[in-house]
Amino acid sequence: MTAIKYFRFCRTAQCSARRTVCSRERLQDWSTVILWARSGALKSWPRKRKSKMRTGLSFEAAQEQDIPAIAQLLRSYSLPAEDFGPHLKHFIVARSNDEVLGCIGLEAQQTMGLLRSLAVKREFQKRGIARELCFRLEQKADSLGVRKLFLLTTTAERFFANRGFQVWNRKDAPEWIRNNDQFTSLCPSSAVLMRKILP
């Protein structure tokens, strides 16, 4: 009975999820709705997710004054923090009230790019910040003409796989990637190389 009440509420509110399902299944009368309620199908209807993004959060190009905060954030995850300065112009930070909550960087060479230095403060994880940083970095890479985006990771293979990256044999890495400090010395040899073709 609870499920039927939920359907009636959605019908009154003209919920887009209800319209999508109903148009597909051609629900015509309440007897059909009751069958749907008893089967548990109503529980699987898509519902709007509440955003966990912090109010006042902005994503913007990193500035010189962000270097100490970025370095501290990277060191907290044992990520290379000594070599990102020359690439600061291709770094993006997530900021709230002048506090750097996350960062990501890019090194670019013609049509190839290396995604690096993705980190989000632990207390602000699982709020979509890392996902948004990746999205914006891919936009930046695209604007620079990058078509093949590589990265090295020891802990986030699943995260990047969910965003279209595929594991790539280190032996098949382009020369520019193989000669990069991240590849040769800064990241451990156990780090997984991943690649994504940008559209």
pLDDT tens-digit map of 54-100:
568 999 999 999 999 999 999 999 999 999 999 999 999 999 999 99
pTM: 0.72
What angle do helix axes 2-13 and 30-39 make, rounded to 10 degrees?
A: 120
pLDDT confidence of residue 56: 85
Whether the per-residue pLDDT at 162 is higher than 50: the answer is yes
pLDDT tens-digit map of 36-54:
344 454 444 444 444 455 5
Whether residue 119 contacts residue 84, with contact meaning beta carbons closer than 8 Å, is answered with no
pLDDT confidence of residue 62: 98
| Tokens read off for 96 | 């709230």
Nearest to residue 157, comparing CAs of 149, 166, 148? 166
| Tokens read off for 27 | 């629900």
Which CATH class, in words, describes the domain spanning 58-197? alpha beta
The ranges assigned to domains in the chain are: 2-44, 58-197
